Amino acid sequence: MEYYSYMVRCAGGSFYCGYTNDLEKRIKTHNSGKGAKYTRARLPVVLVYYETFKTKEEAMSREWHLKRLTHSQKEKMANK
């Protein structure tokens, strides 16, 4: 099974970072208003960055690092 760390751009320009084992389903969940509380008030969200990992632990670790980036660092990653 593959795991993903991802970043979405929310309405208003903010970013949300997370991890999942089904990226397509997770983005749909966010946009249906049933995802993270943060994204529910900032719909729609658009996937702007993701990485693939072999283990959940690797994906969670990368998510932790993504969450600690500054807004401008996230912006640079989103625009690659």
Q: Which residue has the tokens 């946009």?
A: 31
Domains of the chain listed by start with CATH number: 3-78 (3.40.1440.10)
User: How many other β-carbons are positioned within 10 Å of the β-carbon of residue 65?
Assistant: 10
Q: Which two tokens stand for residue 71?
A: 């807004």
Question: Model pTM?
Answer: 0.95
Per-residue pLDDT tens, the chain, 80 aa: give them. 999 999 999 999 999 999 999 999 999 999 999 999 999 999 999 999 999 999 999 999 999 999 999 999 999 999 98
In single-letter form, the type of residue at position 1 comes to: M
